[in-house]
Amino acid sequence: MGKRMWDSTLAFTSGYKMLIRKSGSAWFILTIALLVALLASTNAITNALSLQAETLAKLKNPEGTYILLSGNATALTDSKLDTTLTGKLGNLSCIQQILPQKIIQAHITAESSNATAQIIGVNNVAAYLKTRRASLNGSTAKNPTEANIGEILANTLSISLGNQISCTAHNRQVKIKIAGIFRSQTQSDTEIIVPLETANILAGDNKTITLIEFTLKKDANPQESLNQITQLLPENVKLIQTQQLKEFTQQI
């Protein structure tokens, strides 16, 4: 079972020591069986989400898109960029669209289930979903009390339109209402999309973002544009094309 699961089992059973003595071994066996089933169920949900995210990452990613993230990051959620970098890119005439994102790994608690999943904070939820060519059941999240959830994650956790969920990260918690459920056939279908303000609350930080996603104008020369962008970047920032996303798109 692994050390963590075994420690949890010992902690659980010790609290019922007297009850077990009185009720006999049958109750003890049932207690252990239920505990193991619960832990196995949680692990199965996490594994299922990871597998589906990996499959979707291979099928479809936004085309013609580039990403900036910190060069010293060993995982996507470790990346931290200064928010001022977004403004610098916005001044370039070769840029078509800029989508700064803050990515939080959070524990999601629904009415009857829970799992660990990624929360993506963005300035404009509608624009983000449009880049994923997502179809939406409901409305886009417009304030910190609302969220849009990917169809795969919603189905896995039995979350319906209008449900309230709790998201916990870095010892901070927010309660949000599901305003819409979307399908994009990308990894986003295993994630929760929220306004950037919500992600800042969970992270306890509003001065950094995880990455900047951007596209070039159709008439822009790619090589010249990327050279121009590279000159603006601090030394600890690297530029990645979406075709290279496989290395860090599975950080669920």
The pLDDT tens digits of the residues spanning 190-249 come to 999 999 999 999 999 999 999 999 999 999 999 999 999 999 999 899 998 875 455 444
Look at residue 224 in the predicted model and tell me its pLDDT.
94
pTM of the model: 0.74
**What is the rounded (10 degree) CA torsion for 130, 57, 122, 177?**
90
Q: Which of 252, 106, 77 is nearest to 165 (CA)?
A: 106
Written as six digits, the tokens of 131 are 């880049």
CATH code, domain with 159: 2.40.40.20
17 and 33 part of one domain: yes
CA-to-CA distance for 201 and 208, rounded, in angstroms? 12
Range of the domain at 51: 3-58
41 and 72 part of one domain: no
46 and 141 part of one domain: no
Residue 51 inside a domain? The answer is yes
Structural domain count of the chain: 2
131 and 171 part of one domain: yes
pLDDT digits (tens, 9 = 90+) for 151-175: 999 999 999 999 999 999 999 999 9
pLDDT digits (tens, 9 = 90+) for 129-146: 999 999 999 999 999 999
CA-to-CA distance for 51 and 208, rounded, in angstroms? 30
Residue 76 inside a domain? The answer is yes
* Contact status, residue 49 vs residue 252, Cβ threshold 8 Å: yes
Q: Which of 193, 145, 202 is nearest to 168 (CA)?
A: 202
118 and 164 part of one domain: yes
169 and 126 part of one domain: yes
